[in-house]
Structure 1
């Protein structure tokens, strides 16, 4: 090795030692939510000879998109620069972690750190920088699925009774309060979740929430939603991710019923994943294919099967619905004769209940009608009716006419508004027109219609009709 090669090798070794002493640890990229804050986790090292100058008087400076003095945007002790923030790390212990507040699009760029102290301690770490990207809304969280503690694809189907874990994670970013993760589901199931904070591979804090449960057929097709909520400047900003669970389970019968009239029609509704099949058995024998059987597939897991039995059935006949898929089978049986009796008894009970309800309604209506009629009568009791005796002055031919009237005292009369009553009194005139009505007693404040018929005249040839006030009539008959 010649002299020139030795000099080059020495310089390279010296540069390596120098660079190893002046080092910095920064994340490569940080995403900041507009309007929130952004935290830069930062640690550094210096040459040992400058340790004595790394005191509380040392300052930290951040440079944006360059290494020169004019690129400075933040100073740990000078708040006059454009970026407002705080150096939360202690420079004396070589921690340069910094927070920038009220992030705007101006915070987007490449940032370098510089240490500035006494005794010649001035160094800009140009070999490494951090990139800040500003986003307008938070990213959706990440959802992972674990079956029996093994990670599986989110679209993969799982077996019933498997131990499941749904994991939701998201970067905490920077906000006035830590973000929260919550789980919900389309079927509003009771969910048992737990959350925690941890550092990711880039030394950034992330929040994680695990949802643990045992898979059942009730959760097949259920969508689970993970929502992260950030509090940004007194308002909440959310993002979410969902996952739909696919559970494989043995077939089950959800409904089995019959309607027996002239033709017996039965329904068997089943569900399972994979999709189930249905077979019918009459008294233990498979039903022939020429029997009327129809199927209705509701979706990928639910199936309805109908059977119509036209032949006569004995009291010992039974009908069985059998369903199966690749994970299991299920069956139900019904006694057709007992079903018929049960159905007949059910109809009798039904109609008896309908009749009883109708009778009860009629009784209620009768009571209401009776009470309404009673309410129409005056509240006060009526006095005993008295008799008004009206006679003509001819005793031998005059005919006594009696009329019952309700008598009210003046005080009672004030409680009832005066109403108009009409009463017809017929007098057969066999004498002169000068005859007067005599002997009027207990007259009421009612109105009386007096019709006067001359001798020999009929009612249809009425000469006149006089409406006489009882008070006026009293005045006329006073002696």
Structure 2
């Protein structure tokens, strides 16, 4: 290598070293919640010969957005804020080369690429080689829920064996906010975030021992930000599947556990488990020992007899264990006489009910007033015919029994006025002739049978008056 080439290489290396003296450390991507704040963690380096110009009184931090032109792209100046610029401050000490900055009340229009520029007397440098991209979002990012079983992390697996120690961990990257974010579990109170961990990852653990009660239970972790008197939330959930042995095993009897001899009865066994019951086994107690009968969820006797009386046991089993349940089956002998008595009692009750109903209906009808035209008409029809019973003693009856009486009706029928005159005249003539005939018969023979009529005078007057009215 000749001298000229060595000189060019030396100058190139020297330039690279000098350029590397101006460097900056920035996060590549930052998420900020709309209406909240955003923090840019920042630190920088300058060449040693410029350290003399970096002092607290003269040092100024400037942020440029979506470009490096100072006059066009400037959006923040620590010493000379301008209208339309971002509201914020540099929380780091520029004299110590810490340029950490916070911007307040950001919105979606503030999304973009941000470059830092340092100015202090003769020191003026824009760090174009590195920048931060800020993305302003409307809702907070989702937290993440992870499952730990017996302190071992489970990846994409939510099956837990009953009795295991379970820990659910919820983690979220916190965003800048005026009030600390909180994590909330579905079964725990809120966990406040203290100031020291506001800018760090937020973690909450929910620990318990798994039982069958947690099977298919969904646990939800929610992160909440309070932004300008409103809450912005995001959540993540996990549903546990707990494997457990049979629980709540029971036996049901249809139609009942006490049945009549000769009838059909079915015993049904049920149980809760995960995974499902593999088999049901039936047995019964006989002389102090268990006798295996059959397998299957149901046990049926189509025609029972006294030998079926006793205790029956059902055992439900899966790969995690077994549980049994028992029931007493009682068989009663049928009693036909009792059945007939029951039927007779029911029939008698029905007859009595019908009779009482008829009597009540008749009494109710008898109490109806007859003041209407239909009632008057019906009463007229009922009184059209009036019968007078004359008590007559036939010949020969007086000797044996003077009280023997024959009732003979005399019917009065409603007639016209001319018919009424004739009827009254005929009635008087009939009565006179009957009286004359009676007197002649009495003269012929005193021992002969007498024909007489027992007529109450008061009744005759009433009948005459009634006949006159009709």
1:59, distance to aligned residue in structure 2 (A): 0.8
Partner of 2:420: none
Residues 289-323 of structure 1: CA deviation (Å, up to 9, x unaligned) = 7xxx6xxxxxxxxxxx4433343354873211111
Are 2:120 and 1:117 equivalent residues in the alignment? yes
- The equivalent of 2:320 in structure 1 is 327
Residue 176 of structure 2 corresponds to which residue in structure 1? 174
Separation (CA, whole Å) in 1 of partners of 2:284 and 2:237: 47
Partner of 2:65: 64
RMSD: 2.8
Q: Note the alpha carbon deviations across 1:213-250, whole angstroms, 9 max, x for none.
A: 11111101000011111111121111111110111122
- 1:281 Cα offset (Å): 1.8
Residue 292 of structure 2 corresponds to 286
Q: 1:280-429 alignment to 2 at 5 Å?
A: 280-283=282-285, 284-288=290-294, 305-310=297-302, 311-314=304-307, 317-336=310-329
Equivalent in the alignment of 2:40: 40
The 2-side partners of 1:4 and 1:279 are apart by 99
Q: Report SS of the residue matched to 1:140.
A: coil
Offset, 1:89:
1.4
- What SS does the corresponding residue of 1:287 show, helix, strand or coil? strand
- Is the 1:198–1:205 Cα contact (8 Å) retained in structure 2? no
**d(CA) in 1 for partners of 2:298, 2:111:** 67
Larger radius of gyration: 2
Partners in 2 of 1:108 and 1:43 — Cα distance?
21
CA distance in 1: counterparts of 2:5 and 2:62, whole angstroms: 39
Give how far 1:329 is off: 1.7
Q: Is the 8 A contact 2:250 2:326 kept in 1?
A: no
The residue matched to 2:269 in structure 1 has which SS? strand
Q: Structure 1: which 5+ residue stretches go unaligned?
A: 185-189, 294-304, 342-479
Q: Secondary structure at the match of 1:211?
A: strand
* Residue pair 1:193, 1:210 contacting (<8 A) in 2 also: no
Deviation readout 1:341-385 (Å, 9 max, x if unpaired): 9xxxxxxxxxxxxxxxxxxxxxxxxxxxxxxxxxxxxxxxxxxxx
TM-score normalised by the chain length of structure 1: 0.61
Which deviations, in whole Å up to 9, do the C-alpha atoms of 1:446-475 show, x marking residues without a partner?
Answer: xxxxxxxxxxxxxxxxxxxxxxxxxxxxxx
| Distance (Å, rounded) in 1 between the aligned partners of 2:243 and 2:325 | 22
**2:243 matched to which residue of 1?**
248
Which TM-score applies when normalising by structure 2? Answer: 0.62
Question: Could you say which structure has the higher helix fraction?
Answer: 2
Classify 1:147/1:288 alpha carbon distance in 2 versus 1 (closer, same or farther; 3 Å): closer
2:194 and 2:8 map into 1 onto residues whose CA distance is: 49
User: 1:23, CA displacement in angstroms?
Assistant: 1.8
Preserved contact between residue 253 and residue 268 of structure 1 (Cα < 8 Å):
no
Q: Could you say which residue in structure 1 is the equivalent of 2:267?
A: 266
Show CA shifts across 1:128-162 (max 9, x none): 11001121222221111112222213443121122
CA contact (8 A) 2:89 2:103 kept: yes
Distance 1:321 1:195, change over 3 A: farther
